């Protein structure tokens, strides 16, 4: 999964290294040079080593300080040279960042998110290079990692701890358009919660679609969970209300409430979600969408969040998504975290979304194997 994004990031690292090398070669005659030999030559030729804000003729100590500064700079460069690194200058980044932006956009990363990542990389790189010398690859790696982590980790909280600390029954309602994997995700979460020692009841608030009851009932049977439903065309709020009552009476920890997947622009749906909010007052409303929908998923996440505030998102079909743009963008755009990734059609194909692990995977991990 996300191979496209991983390739994009790999290419960026190569581009910067290449730029740093070729710009060095071009600037041989410049005063600002980057290799040990050039530095030595330049030091001998240099007539005025003082930075513009100082006047060495007025203060002899300053001259000494300046000499020391130059030699520290020289040490850094020598070390960079010895470790096979090249000092990265701001101008090394211009072209690679431009290429990176285009690649991010074509990997379905949302525009504002791409810009944030670029600004983060530039800031991290310019800061880091001045502070210490590492190999170019390490410098780039950590700059990318930090910039990505910053946009991916927006809004993250400890989901398991939140579940543990919330009064039971904890009510979760799932929204999102039709076909993205809401019902499947509810079944997967029932399994997830069982693993964590919680009981769950599955409630079908999708009273709109024919066959919705049967689909969720089959999952409930397979997972040995209580299933609550009304007839097709009934009031979804009433179904969820019944499920909460059942959970209270039977000490069930978690209510997982499905809803109909109609267009987020539909007033009906929004009125429905509002009524659910008012009557059932869910602890969490989770937005479900498919990673493969890319920019569309990002757009819908934002619209759903505007219409009926969500607490987090679940991104399904990540196993089939070569791009990764939605996974990178949704949290930043909505301000709400991605909590889980769906990675297949089996009940166990659900992973906690761990921003650190995702960034590691994108930058180091062998994503093809995941």
Ligand X SMILES: Nc1nc2c(ncn2[C@@H]2O[C@H](COP(=O)(O)OP(=O)(O)O)[C@@H](O)[C@H]2O)c(=O)[nH]1
Binding-site annotation, residues for GTP: 176-183, 258-262, 316-319
Which of 181, 182, 76 has its CA nearest to residue 130? 76
SS3 for 266?
A: coil
Minimum CB separation of residue 209 from Mg ion in Å reads: 7
Residue with tokens 């996440």, as numbered in its chain = 301
Give the HSE-up count for residue 288: Cα atoms under 13 Å, Cβ half-sphere: 29
Among 8, 183, 272, 285, binds Mg ion (CB under 5 A): 183
Q: Which is nearer to ligand X, 182 or 264 (CB)?
A: 182
d(CA 14, CA 137): 9
Among 345, 348, 352, 357, binds ligand X (CB under 6 A): 345
Q: Which does 213 bind (CB under 5 to 8 A by kind): Mg ion, ligand X, none?
A: none
Rounded alpha-carbon distances, angstroms, from residue 138 to 70, 84, 113, 135, 184 = 25, 11, 23, 5, 41
Rounded alpha-carbon distances, angstroms, from residue 309 to 1, 169, 179, 273, 313 = 29, 21, 21, 10, 11
Asked if 182 contacts 259 with a C-beta cutoff of 8 angstroms, the reply is yes
- Checking phi first, is residue 194 left (phi over 0); if not, alpha (psi -120 to 50) or beta? alpha
d(CA 322, CA 6): 9
Q: Is 182 in the site for ligand X (CB under 6 A)?
A: yes
Rounded alpha-carbon distances, angstroms, from residue 295 to 73, 115, 317, 329 = 45, 15, 15, 9
Pair type for strands 338-342 and 350-352:
antiparallel
Q: Which does 355 bind (CB under 5 to 8 A by kind): ligand X, Mg ion, none?
A: none
What character string, x for contact with ligand X (CB under 6 A) and - otherwise, covers 254-293?
A: -------x--------------------------------
Q: Is 344 in the site for ligand X (CB under 6 A)?
A: yes
Q: Which does 344 bind (CB under 5 to 8 A by kind): ligand X, Mg ion, none?
A: ligand X
Q: For the chain, what is the total number of helices (H) and then of strands (E)?
A: 14, 8
Q: Which is nearer to Mg ion, 181 or 325 (CB)?
A: 181
Q: Is 213 in the site for Mg ion (CB under 5 A)?
A: no
Among 320, 346, 357, 370, binds ligand X (CB under 6 A): 320
Q: Is 334 in the site for ligand X (CB under 6 A)?
A: no
Q: Which does 345 bind (CB under 5 to 8 A by kind): Mg ion, ligand X, none?
A: ligand X
Binding-site residues: 176-183, 258-262, 316-319
Q: Which does 320 bind (CB under 5 to 8 A by kind): ligand X, Mg ion, none?
A: ligand X
Q: Is 222 in the site for ligand X (CB under 6 A)?
A: no
Q: Is 179 in the site for ligand X (CB under 6 A)?
A: yes
Minimum CB separation of residue 27 from ligand X in Å reads: 50
What character string, x for contact with ligand X (CB under 6 A) and - otherwise, covers 123-162?
A: ----------------------------------------
Q: Which is nearer to ligand X, 107 or 316 (CB)?
A: 316
Using CB under 6 A as the binding criterion, the count of chain residues that bind ligand X stands at 17
**Residue number with the shortest CB distance to ligand X?**
342
| DSSP of 97-157 | HHHHHHHHHHTT--HHHHHHHHHHHHHHHHHHHHH----HHHHHHHHHHHHHHHHHTTT--
Which residues of the shown chain bind ligand X in the complex (CB under 6 A)? Answer: 178-184, 261, 316-317, 319-320, 342-345, 349
Which residues contribute to the site for Mg ion (CB under 5 A)?
182-183
């Amino acid at each position: 999964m996300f191979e496209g994004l991983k390739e994009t990031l790999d290419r960026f690292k190569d581009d910067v290294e290449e730029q740093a090398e070729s710009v060095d070669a071009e600037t041989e005659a410049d005063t600002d040079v980057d290799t040990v030999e050039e530095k030595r030559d330049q030091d001998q030729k240099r007539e005025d080593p003082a930075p513009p804000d100082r006047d060495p003729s007025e203060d002899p100590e300053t001259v000494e300080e300046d000499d020391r500064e130059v030699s520290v700079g020289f040490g850094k460069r020598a070390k960079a040279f010895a470790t096979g690194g090249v000092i990265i200058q701001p101008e090394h980044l211009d072209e690679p960042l431009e290429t990176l932006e285009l690649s991010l956009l074509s990997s379905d990363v949302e525009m504002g998110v791409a810009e944030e990542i670029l600004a983060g990389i530039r800031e991290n790189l310019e800061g880091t290079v001045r502070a210490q010398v590492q190999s170019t690859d390490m410098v780039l790696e950590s700059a990318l990692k930090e910039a990505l982590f910053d946009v991916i980790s927006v809004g993250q909280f400890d989901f398991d701890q939140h579940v543990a600390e919330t009064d039971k029954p904890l009510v979760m309602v799932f929204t999102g358009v039709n076909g993205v994997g809401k019902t499947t995700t509810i079944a997967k979460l029932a399994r997830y919660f069982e693993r964590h020692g919680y009981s769950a009841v599955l409630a079908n608030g999708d009273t709109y679609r024919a066959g919705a009851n049967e689909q969720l009932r089959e999952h409930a049977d397979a997972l040995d969970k209580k299933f609550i439903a009304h007839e097709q065309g009934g009031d979804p709020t009433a179904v969820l209300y019944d499920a909460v009552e059942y959970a209270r009476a039977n000490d069930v920890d978690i209510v997982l409430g499905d809803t109909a997947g109609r267009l987020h622009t539909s007033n009906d749906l929004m009125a429905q979600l509002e009524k659910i909010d008012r009557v059932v007052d869910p602890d969490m409303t989770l937005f479900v969408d498919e990673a493969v929908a890319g920019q569309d998923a990002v757009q819908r996440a934002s619209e759903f969040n505007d219409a009926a505030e969500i607490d987090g998102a679940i991104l399904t079909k990540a196993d089939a998504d070569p791009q990764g743009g939605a996974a990178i963008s949704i949290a930043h755009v909505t301000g709400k975290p991605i909590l889980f990734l769906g990675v297949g059609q089996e009940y166990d194909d659900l992973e906690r979304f761990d921003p650190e692990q995702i960034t590691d995977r994108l930058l180091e991990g062998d994503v093809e194997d995941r």
